[in-house]
A and B are shown apart, each in its own frame.
Chain A
Amino acid sequence: MAILEGKKAIIIGDRDGIPGPAIAECVKTAGAEVIFSSTECFV
């Protein structure tokens, strides 16, 4: 997960897949800074 260390992350989650806040939590623990997180509904 070192690939995310010190990086800035833009997150687009899927309401029927993995939502934004869940991805954000994972990304933060991997050392990235979340600068935008959103969940989209495609249906």
Chain B
Amino acid sequence: MNSVIKGASYVLAHTPDMVLYNGTTQTTERIVNPESEYLKEVPKHLRSYEDVVAYWPNQTYIGNAHPDQLAEIEFPYFDKKMEGAERYGKYGEIMPEEEFLLLVQACDMFEVVRLEKAFVAAHKDAFAADPVITEDIVALLHEGVEIDEIEALIKDDHAEPLYFEDKLVGCVKPAHDIDVNLSSHVMHENLMSKASSVLALLYGVKNAGIEKSDVEYVIDCAEEACGDMNQRGGGNFAKAAAEIAGLSNATGSDARGFCAAPTHALIEAAALVKSGAYKCVAVTAGGCTAKLGMNGKDHVKKELPILEDCLGGFCVIIAENDGVNPEIDLNMLGRHTVGTGSAPQNVIGSLVADPLDRAGMKITDIDKFSPEMQNPDITKPAGAGDVPLANYKMIAALAVKRGELDRKELAAFTKDHGLTGWAPTQGHIPSGVPFVGFAREDILEGKIKNAMIIGKGSLFLGRMTNLFDGVSFVIHGNTAAEEEAASGVSEEEVKGLIAKAMKDFAATLMAE
């Protein structure tokens, strides 16, 4: 039987100071044009934590609003606030920067993170009050050091500074004197990814209603690489995060494939569980500091706030078929192969039409498609357009070409079978997976019968190949009962067999 989606989590960490100091748009500008007007403008365009919490797409990401509700909000979203918005949501939370820095320190196993003593003391209680932060994690916090020590590490040891409200509160030291793979910059980037993945894992387990000990395998599908000069991408973020999250029965590994990695990882997890190799697999990813403020120049130019100010994370728990939860159907996998080519028609054909053809289904048989779910509030002002809508138009055009949709219904298709994007532009985070949690619930509630998750990856960015990549899968309602019925043993027969066994047992007792 197919594996099921037991639960999902979605988390954000608000990191405005890292926009200025760690986002590559800003760090590049600092190198090529250190006196630039843009860099001076950035701090004026950073949002407060309250504004980030009240932002409709963020509330949608953590599950306090359904994408259908977001679609009813007049575009653009940045100038509107959701009433009653909260830090905590059905799927996770929006963690403030000060608490996130404490989580990062708790995730550091090699004493490279140094936080100021007063900063730790001021925020430790709030950190410990988070419902998913356990005593074990709080116990990993150091009391901190004096600011003089932090300043000296930055000045003399190439440590990467950590700021809160533009004030120095800590640093990340290099983990090696010479090895660039363990430089303070790389350590910073990797620890932020690890910490946001830990937060996602903690919510993933909670939301799935399982014990931490139930998780047997973790797959990390973020876009960072950890290792040293002898194995630059050696890994293993998955096991490192599982350790902090307290998943003591789990091992794991990292899956990489640019933005397509989460969809690859979910297919792999579903296959691992279906094969019987593991009973319960967590697919997780943390966020990417490099992408903070990626489109900041356009946002500043257009007098908008810098909207890429949060790290994203997610976790999906895949488990054995429980007869209730929606399934990942491994008989309907789409894949962009080496030979597919890069023409849009070929790409959508391989990811959407081919798997449906194999199952004898039409494009219009899928209730909802979840391709790249980037928030258009971020991408449209930057000239990248509405990415989800562009994908829906291509899917609809293919349906028209195949004679499955009337040309006049093209616009309605993008609305009826599509979703309005809400995910932060964190690379792998918006790629297909943001809808998995909603799809699970919508299928359980009978709102939709199925959904297709599509992950796409820009492999050419690694300069190893010019190829594009993508994979897809379909989630549908649980079919365990139908499969049992089809297997030839009916419920009545089972009841009869049990009754006979009990009768025989009673007879044995009486004979004794």
Contact = CB atoms under 8 A, between A and B. Distances in A.
- Do A and B assemble together? yes
B191 to A, nearest CB: 24
Interface residues of B, number: 25
B384 interface: yes
Contacts of B382: 42
Contact of A41 (B383, B390, B430, B458): B458
Contacts of A19: 342, 344, 468
Contacts of B259: 41, 43
Q: Which of B342, B383, B384, B430 has the most CB of A within 10 A?
A: B342
A17 B341 CA distance: 14
Given A15-B456, A16-B372, A19-B468, A42 B379 contact: yes
Nearest to A15: B458
A43 B430 contact: yes
Interface string B466-510: 101000000000000000000000000000000000000000000
B370 interface: no
Contact of B460 (A18, A25, A39, A42): A39
Contacts of A21: 341-342, 466
Contact of A43 (B341, B344, B425): B425
B359 interface: no
A4 interface: no
Interface size for chain A: under 10, 10 to 19, 20 to 34, or 35 or more residues? 10 to 19
Given A16-B384, A19-B342, A22-B343, A43 B468 contact: no
B461 A41 contact: yes
Interface of A: 14-22, 25, 38-39, 41-43
Given A16-B384, A17-B390, A21-B466, A43 B372 contact: yes
Contacts of B379: 42-43
A27 B466 CA distance: 18
Interface in B404-435: 425, 427, 430
A19 B461 CA distance: 13
18 contacts: A14-B384, A15-B456, A15-B468, A16-B384, A16-B390, A16-B456, A19-B342, A19-B344, A21-B466, A25-B343, A39-B458, A39-B468, A42-B295, A42-B379, A43-B259, A43-B372, A43-B379, A43-B387
A36 to B, nearest CB: 13
Of B341, B343, B425, most buried by chain A (CB within 10 Å of CB) is B343
Contacts of A25: 343
A36 B192 CA distance: 36
A22 B466 CA distance: 12
A22 B468 CA distance: 11
A18 B468 contact: no
Contacts of B430: 43
B22 interface: no
Contacts of A38: 460
Contact of A16 (B383, B391, B427, B460): B391
Given A16-B391, A22-B342, A22-B343, A43 B384 contact: yes
A41 to B, nearest CB: 4
